[in-house]
Amino acid sequence: MFHNTKCDCGHQNPTGTTLCESCGKPLIDDDGSDLLEMRYDGMARRSQKSNPSILDKVWNFFSSVKIAVYIILVTLVASAVGTIYPQENTFLDMDPAQYYEQNYGTLGTIYYKLGFSHTFNSWWFITLLFMIGTSLVICSLDRVLPLYKALSKQQIRKHENFLTRQKVTYTGPLPEQAEAEAWTSLMASLLRKKHYRVHTDGTALLAEKYRFSRWGPYINHIGLIIFLLGVLMRSIPGWHMDQYMGLLEGETKQIPHTSYYIKNEKFNLELYEDKDLPESIKEKGQIVPKTYETQAVLYHCTANCDDNAAEPVLEEVHRADILVNHPLDYKGLQAYQFDYKSSPMLISVKPTLSNPRTGESFGSFDLPMNNPKDEYVVGPYKLKLKGYFPDFGLDDKGQPISKSNEPKAPAFIFNITGPNLAASGEPYMYFPRQIDKEAYSQDQINGAIAQKLNIAVGSMEGVQFAQYTTYLNIRVDKAMPYIWVGAAIFMIGVIMGFYWQHRRIWLRIDDNKLTLGAHTNKNWFGLRNEVAAAMAKNAIDISPKLLDKGGKQE
Amino acid sequence: MGARKKWVQMTIFAIVLVIGVFTIMTNLSASDSKKYPQVGDKAPDFSLVGLDGKTHKLSDYKGKPVLVNFWGTFCPPCKEEMPDLQKQYDKWGKDIVFLEVNVDKNKVTVQGFMDQYSLNLPVLLDAKEEVRKMYGVMDYPTTFFINPDGKVEVKKIGQMTESFIDQTISQMAALKKS
């Protein structure tokens, strides 16, 4: 059964059209006097087809603004839940399975099991964002295409019913001695002065201005889509990294998941002097840092990068001083100064091997606290490293142990071979720190060999010391430019839609009767004023209020 | 006209679907890699150099039950359980693979420790702590009992008694036979 969509004016409209595309006559409820629904100028939208196929049903789902609002609300609630407990990706080195249960009990376990511990990377959250994106695309397409069609081919002469059922309308006789066509052309020039684009057709007129503002919402949706795509692009491998590293002065570490290595060459800290501090802080004895920076070196691994057995071969690619808010930046890889802590640690010493009785020196050697060599040759002597305790101590049974993995109290045990010593070598225990040497009575431990040989650091020369550990935030964010572009386009769309309004004025004169209708998307007050002002200059004096929803003559 | 519109509709949906599948897939795979192995999960493969100077991979021992014990010379409970582990190694060493993953920074410290306490368990050196981080080990000692299929059977955090080690190994050995 065919539904007749042919208008009185002769134009054939697609199914679902509510106002005739040609003359504007209302196709449904044509006897009523209610205000017309002017959305999209009454054009048929894709989502309003009858007999929807599966494809249409999916389209209809995503083109619904109501559904979009629900999706956004669900995303909002989910985001809020994701902020209740710290998220997994903020952990430096903790097992999530234990963390939530240990710290937050049952609620924590539920939180973890439901997947909220990684809310913002979970598949369902990304799906929600993705649905928002799809909805943006489909909602916009569903509406912008018919709107564009409607606005690009507008008829000048509209049906009287169309004009009288507008929100701004006037019906009344022409002024005395006014001639229809002359009156219309005067109206046209008056409106042109107000920046309207006017088209006339005999005694009918269409004046329109600022149509571009109607595209504002669609432009800002495009901006949002680009923004969302930018956010989703962060999932591309290599596009996003946000991790933290702690480096002792002099230490070089690999940046995880990359082939780059970073070295903390030196950390400089400058404190405010007492004279610059307020009393309250001086009293508490607090220290206040003035500036601190890391002199960093970035290396790229060229060989042996994944080999556990061999040392990686590094090539220096960049050097920078990292200050707070002034990161190291190399091809998008950034290292920000995040934090520091005081961590005095011996790095290496250069002890001398000598004869304690004669004072004869045999030479010196570089002894690092990390990865010392297996053997050192000093003069005629060979020092073979048999044992090393980075943090020397004695357990409850009096046996030597290392209390930690850091060189806080290093102790080396050498087996020395050479002149005047046993053929199989003699053991020698060496404590680089004077305080340990005394505490553990190094000379007593060594016994007889202490009379023949002495390993000691003569002066502070050759002693390398680290004072600080620097904490850096290593970041990569290749998607940022796209996100900025999306945000900029969004702003442009907002400004377009906000600061200008699309206004249209139609009028026709039939037998000395003037029928006028006008429409805008916002600021009806301004529109009425403008219409009344133009009419006044054309010898029809009415107050703007009269134009509102009806122009019944008093 | 209607046919062309339908074609446009389908293209838009196709693009949307492709992007959708892509984002969900990358997110699923990204979140997997962050997960630390728990009981029932597959034990991640690793490659480390041992005290013996040779490179050992976990996958080398597929088909045999493996005991992976994370420890350090500076950890007193690790020291306590070492003699027990040594005895169990003497007992089960032919059927079960023992891998002592050590996190000390210096090889000589580990060798010295092994000599000091007359231990000959196989030790793997993880000075950079890469494997420790991969397995999500926070406390020492932590032990993973891995069954012949490569899945984590038991995860024990803390010092083990000899009977615990014995029982757990017996259970795993029984599984292998069935």
For residue B104, list chain A residues with Cβ-Cβ distance below 8 A.
402, 405
Each residue of B102-127: pLDDT tens digit? 999 999 999 999 998 999 999 999 99
Q: Using alpha carbons, list the distances in angstroms from residue B87 to B81, B161, B162.
A: 10, 11, 8
A144 CA: distance to closest CA in chain B (Å): 14
Q: How confident is the model at residue A30 (pLDDT cuts 50, 70, 90)?
A: low
Would the pLDDT of A240 be above 50? Answer: yes
Would the pLDDT of A549 be above 80? Answer: no
Domains in chain A (CATH in brackets) are 45-151 (no CATH), 157-217+486-547 (3.30.310.80), 240-346+468-477 (no CATH), 351-461 (no CATH)
Structure confidence at residue A496 (pLDDT) = 95
Q: How confident is the model at residue A551 (pLDDT cuts 50, 70, 90)?
A: very low
Would the pLDDT of A301 be above 60? Answer: yes
Residue of chain B whose Cα is closest to the Cα of A369:
B106
DSSP symbols for B128-162 = T-HHHHHTT--SSSEEEEE-TTSBEEEEEES---H
Residue of chain A whose Cα is closest to the Cα of B80:
A395
Q: Quick check: B106 and A390 CB within 8 A?
A: yes
B105 CA: distance to closest CA in chain A (Å): 7
Residue of chain B whose Cα is closest to the Cα of A411:
B109
The topology under which CATH files domain B47-177 is Glutaredoxin (3.40.30)
For residue A395, list chain B residues with Cβ-Cβ distance below 8 A.
76, 79
Q: What percent of chain A has pLDDT over 90?
A: 47
Amino acid making up residue A526: G
Give residues with Cβ within 8 angstroms of B170, minimum separation 6: none
For residue B6, list chain A residues with Cβ-Cβ distance below 8 A.
55
Q: Quick check: B20 and A127 CB within 8 A?
A: yes
Can you state the percent helix, strand and coil of chain A, rounding each to 5?
35, 30, 35
CB nearest to B9's CB, from A59, A122, A404: A59
Residue A418 Ramachandran class (φ > 0 left, ψ -120 to 50 alpha, else beta): left
Would the pLDDT of A467 be above 60? Answer: yes
Structure confidence at residue B4 (pLDDT) = 65
For residue B13, list chain A residues with Cβ-Cβ distance below 8 A.
55, 58-59
Tokens matching residue A277: 């501090």
Structure confidence at residue B160 (pLDDT) = 92
Structure confidence at residue A1 (pLDDT) = 46
CB nearest to B20's CB, from A55, A130, A402: A130
Residue pairs spanning A and B at CB distance below 8 A = 112
For residue B115, list chain A residues with Cβ-Cβ distance below 8 A.
386-387
What's the pTM value of the predicted model, to 2 decimals?
Answer: 0.74
Each residue of A251-276: pLDDT tens digit? 899 998 899 999 999 999 999 888 88
CB nearest to A387's CB, from B28, B30, B112: B112
For chain B, give the mean pLDDT. Answer: 87
CB nearest to B31's CB, from A121, A372, A402: A121
Between residues A175 and A552, the one the model is more confident about = A175
Q: How confident is the model at residue B74 (pLDDT cuts 50, 70, 90)?
A: very high
Structure confidence at residue A3 (pLDDT) = 59
Structure confidence at residue A552 (pLDDT) = 47
Identify the top-confidence range among A74-83, A225-234, A285-294, B6-15.
A74-83
Distance CA A109, CA A102 (A): 9
Where does A14-64 have alpha helices with state H? Answer: 54-63
Exposure letters A249-274 (e unless 16+ CB within 10 A, then b):
bbbeebbeeeebbbbbebbeeeeeee
For residue A134, list chain B residues with Cβ-Cβ distance below 8 A.
16, 20
Q: How large is the average pLDDT for residues A396-419?
A: 90
Q: How confident is the model at residue A248 (pLDDT cuts 50, 70, 90)?
A: very high
B163 CA: distance to closest CA in chain A (Å): 25
Q: What percent of chain B has pLDDT over 70?
A: 91
Chain B interface, Cβ < 8 Å to A: 5-6, 9-10, 12-13, 16, 19-20, 22-24, 26-28, 30-31, 34, 36, 38, 47-49, 55, 72-74, 76, 79, 103-106, 108-109, 112, 115-116, 128, 133, 136, 138
Each residue of B129-171: pLDDT tens digit? 889 988 989 889 999 999 988 899 999 999 999 999 999 999 8
Structure confidence at residue B29 (pLDDT) = 63
Q: How large is the average pLDDT for residues A168-187?
A: 89
Would the pLDDT of A141 be above 80? Answer: yes
- Range of lowest pLDDT (A192-196, A483-487, A545-549, B45-49): A545-549
Structure confidence at residue A110 (pLDDT) = 87
Structure confidence at residue A18 (pLDDT) = 86
Q: What ipTM, to 2 d.p.?
A: 0.81
Structure confidence at residue A112 (pLDDT) = 85
Three-state SS string over A303-366 comes to ECCCCCCCCCEEEEEEEEEEECCECEEECCEEEEEEEEEEEEEEEEECCEEECCCCCCEEEECC
Q: How large is the average pLDDT for residues A443-454?
A: 88
DSSP state of A14: P
Give residues with Cβ within 8 angstroms of B86, minimum separation 6: B119, B120, B121
Q: Quick check: B55 and A309 CB within 8 A?
A: yes
The neighbouring-strand residues paired with A88 are none
- Yes or no: say if A20 and A159 are a contact pair by the CB < 8 Å rule: yes
CB nearest to A88's CB, from B24, B34, B74: B34
Each residue of A62-90: pLDDT tens digit? 999 999 999 999 999 999 999 988 888 77
Residue of chain A whose Cα is closest to the Cα of B24:
A123
Q: Using alpha carbons, list the distances in angstroms from residue A44 to A10, A49, A50, A498.
A: 18, 8, 11, 26
Would the pLDDT of B35 be above 80? Answer: no
Q: How large is the average pLDDT for residues A336-364?
A: 91
For residue A59, list chain B residues with Cβ-Cβ distance below 8 A.
9, 13
Residue of chain B whose Cα is closest to the Cα of A393:
B74
A262 CA: distance to closest CA in chain B (Å): 15
Beta-carbon count within 10 A of A210 CB: 18
Structure confidence at residue A273 (pLDDT) = 86
Tokens matching residue A499: 């600061």
B74 CA: distance to closest CA in chain A (Å): 5
Q: Quick check: B74 and A401 CB within 8 A?
A: yes
- Range of lowest pLDDT (A352-366, A520-534, B15-29): B15-29
DSSP state of A479: T
Query: Testing the interface with A: which of B16, B21, B135 to mutate, by most A Cβ within 10 A?
Result: B16
Would the pLDDT of A119 be above 90? Answer: no
Residue of chain B whose Cα is closest to the Cα of A233:
B23
